[in-house]
Amino acid sequence: MSDRHSWRLSPLVGGAALVSGLLAAVLFSGCAEVSEAGAGIAQAAGVLSPSEAQAVTRGAKAVEKSWQDLTPEQEYYIGRAVVAQVLQTYPPLDRPQANDYLNLLGQSLAVFSERPETFGGYHFLLLDSDEINAFAAPGGLILVTRGMLRCCQNEDELAAVLAHEICHVEQKHGLSAIKQGRLTEAFTIVAAESAKQMGGEELAALTREFEGSVGDVVMTLTTSGYSRKQERNADAAAVELLQRAGYPATAMIAMLERMDERLADAGGLGFAKTHPSAKSRADALRTMVAGAEFAPDPVRQQRFSVAIQPIVAGK
Amino acid sequence: MKIRVLAVLLTISTGAALAAPMSVQVRNCRVRATPSQLGATVATVEYGAVVQAGALQNGWYPVTTADGKTGWVHESALSKKPIVMRAGANDAATGVSSDEVALAGKGFNEKVEAKLRKDGKLDYTWVDRMAAFNASPDQIMKFRLQGHLPGGVQ
């Protein structure tokens, strides 16, 4: 821990180091009174003006904040960087017709979300990868691989995939992956900033915490995965979202069963690595959804085929 | 009859008492004519702007904008916390403690993204292209209608 804090204890601009040090004292002791006393000392020492000291005292509470306190705007910037980083490993699929269709479908579902409004809105992009996977970055940027498209035989099943990802955004599962220590650092810098204008060093420090936070989310999306509870919650919310939007929730079960078969063939890569088994998810959903077979609507089948079949079939 | 009038008056006064300032916490906030994401847009309100919000009804607030327009905004677009837009803004002057203020424009913001771009650490080309995919409410309505999906939207 001391390594990660060392930058803040090094000489910074003017009294900012002392301000940060005082906030660090609060952080270590978890006691707001320390900060108030510390701000008083700093003020007495002439480092801070009375109004600045007041700002530090107020800022003491900032260090107790968690990922739930990130504003939609902050979530938006984290999500953008998460996507930029994921795209370094999974290249985008530059197929306008398919991406337009994906966005029309996804955005028509997002309006039925419990959280239809995010700072920058919901946007979707196909990835040029045969791995079976989909990623929901904070704020509503959702990525779907060609391998995942192959698990969907019609629009209703693709809607089920997108609904699941939208629900991860709705429930802020990506943000919850960020380690508390990084946010404590970030909120501390922000609190110090309300006492002094942010200088280059503070921005650099904040950027480091930002990169670390983005790294935590990317690691969870691509390698470690969400908790089983989060996946179950996303599935349950997706069923409700599909029903509100008029899609048959049974499509989700059909999609998961096909995914289970394909994942077995793929030898446990991609989605299998980061999600509970597709079969166990399908089994859990059967207890929630009436299991009757459904006939896909011909218009939806047609437009899905036109937009998606060329992607699935060819390279 | 008297009781009914009294009840109406009571309802109106209760509604007025419930109206409270709320801040827009998303970039493009549409005020809708009806409590629906696909309802017609009667006004757009900027990030950080304050609206007067009545009692929450099924996830929607009836709102009045600063210039007097009325309509509905989904709860996910509004925050009870005042939003301080400028970095280093002196919120002490407003008498609001930092704890009650959404630290918008501070922390992880465009400055941080600009630094990452400048340092060449991340390429945002496709992030920007992705963010430009936008289906209009009309396109969504048409898409749903053609696909034989029910017309009712929350």
Domain boundaries, chain A: 2-69+179-222, 95-174+226-313
The confidence score (pLDDT) of residue B25 equals 94
Average pLDDT over residues A87-115: 97
Q: Residue A42 above 60 pLDDT?
A: no
Question: B75 and B134 share a domain?
Answer: no
Contact B71, B44 (CB under 8 A): no
Spell out the residues 6+ positions from residue A186 whose beta carbon is closer than 8 angstroms to its own.
Answer: A206, A209, A210, A213, B107, B108
Task: Provide CB contacts within 8 A for B9, sequence distance 6+.
Answer: none
Residue A92: beta bridge partners?
Answer: A127
pLDDT at A49 over 90: no
* Whole-number average pLDDT of chain A: 79
- Tens digits of pLDDT across chain B (154 residues): 455 555 544 444 444 456 999 999 999 899 999 999 999 999 999 999 999 999 999 999 999 999 999 999 999 999 998 886 654 444 433 444 444 445 545 678 888 899 889 988 899 999 999 999 999 999 999 999 999 998 654 4
As for the ipTM of the complex, it is 0.82
Query: Distance, in angstroms, between B4 CA and closest chain A CA?
Result: 36
Look at chain B and report how many structural domains it folds into.
2
Taking residues A165-178, report their average pLDDT: 95
User: For chain A, how long is the longest CA-to-CA vector?
Assistant: 77
Q: The whole model's pTM is what?
A: 0.80
Judging by DSSP bridges, how do beta strands A123-127 and B41-46 pair with one another?
unpaired
d(CA A308, CA A303): 8
Query: So what's the pLDDT on residue A16?
Result: 39
B101 and B26 within one domain: yes
Q: Could you tell me if B27 and B100 lie in one domain?
A: yes
- B31 and B80 within one domain: yes
Assigned domain for B4 exists:
no
Residue A94 or A36, more confident: A94
The SS3 call for residue B151 is coil
The pLDDT assigned to A168 comes to: 97
Give yes or no for A32 touching B (CB within 8 A): no
Q: What CA–CA distance (Å, rounded) separates A189 from A16? A: 10
Residue B11 lies in a domain: no
Q: Does any domain span residue B153?
A: yes
Nearest CA of chain A to the CA of B6: how many Å?
A: 36
Structural domain span for residue B128: 108-154
Tell me what pLDDT residue A271 has: 67
State the distance between the two ends of chain B, measured CA to CA, in whole angstroms: 35
Residue B82 within any structural domain of the chain: yes
Confidence of residue A203 (pLDDT cuts 50, 70, 90): confident
Is residue A59 predicted with pLDDT exceeding 90? no
Residues B40 and B92 occupy one common structural domain: yes
Residue pLDDT, tens place only, A266-302: 766 666 677 778 888 998 998 888 766 667 899 999 9
**B94: buried, middle or exposed (CB in 10 Å: 19+, 13-18, 0-12)?**
exposed
Same domain, B125 and B153: yes
Query: Is it the case that residue A80 has pLDDT exceeding 80?
Result: yes
| A10/chain B closest Cα distance in angstroms | 21
Helices A32-44 and A16-29 sit at what angle, rounded to 10 degrees?
Answer: 160
Neighbours of B122 (CB within 10 A): 20
| Together in a domain, B96 and B112 | no
Distance of CA B45 to the CA centre of its chain: 8
Same domain, B33 and B99: yes
Name which of B92, B113, B139 is nearest A51 (Cβ-Cβ).
B92
Same domain, B24 and B95: yes
Q: Is residue B9 assigned to a domain? A: no
Band of pLDDT at residue A22, cut at 50, 70 and 90: very low
Instruction: Label each residue of A138-195 as H, E or C.
Output: CCCEEEEEHHHHCCCCCHHHHHHHHHHHHHHHHCCCCHHHCCHHHHHHHHHHHHHHCC
**Closest Cβ–Cβ partner in A51, A206, A246 for B107:** A206
- Spatial CA neighbour of B98 closest among A57, A161, A159: A57
Find out whether A131 and A293 touch, Cβ atoms under 8 Å: no
Q: Are residues B56 and B95 in the same domain?
A: yes
Q: Are B25 and B7 in contact (CB under 8 A)?
A: no
Residue linked to tokens 């009174």 = A33
Q: For residue B46, which phi and psi values (nearest 5 degrees)?
A: -75, 155
Q: Which two tokens stand for residue A290?
A: 């009436």
- Whether B39 and B112 map to the same domain: the answer is no
Any idea which of A141-155, A157-171, A185-199 has the lowest mean pLDDT?
A: A185-199
Please give the pLDDT value at position A169. Answer: 97
DSSP A235-263: HHHHHHHHHHHT--THHHHHHHHHHHHHH
Which residues on A lie below 8 Å from B90 (Cβ)? Answer: 51
Task: Please judge whether A124 and B140 are an interchain contact, meaning their C-beta atoms are less than 8 angstroms apart.
Answer: no
For chain B, give the number of residues: 154
> What pLDDT score does A9 carry?
27
Report yes or no: A167 and A234 within 8 Å, Cβ to Cβ: yes
pLDDT-based confidence at residue A189 (cuts at 50, 70, 90): confident
Cβ separation of A141 and B127 shorter than 8 Å? yes
Please give the structure tokens belonging to residue B24.
Answer: 């827009």
Closest CA of chain A from B17, distance in Å: 27
3-state secondary structure B1-67: CHHHHHHHHHHHHHHHHHCEEEEECCCEEEEECCCCCCCCEEEEEECCCEEEECCCECCEEEEECCC
Q: What is the C-alpha separation between A112 and B154, in angstroms, rounded? A: 7
The pair of structure tokens assigned to A134 is 């989909």
CB-CB: which of A62, A80, A100 is closest to B124?
A80
Residue A128 DSSP SS3: coil
- B81 and B142 assigned to the same domain: no
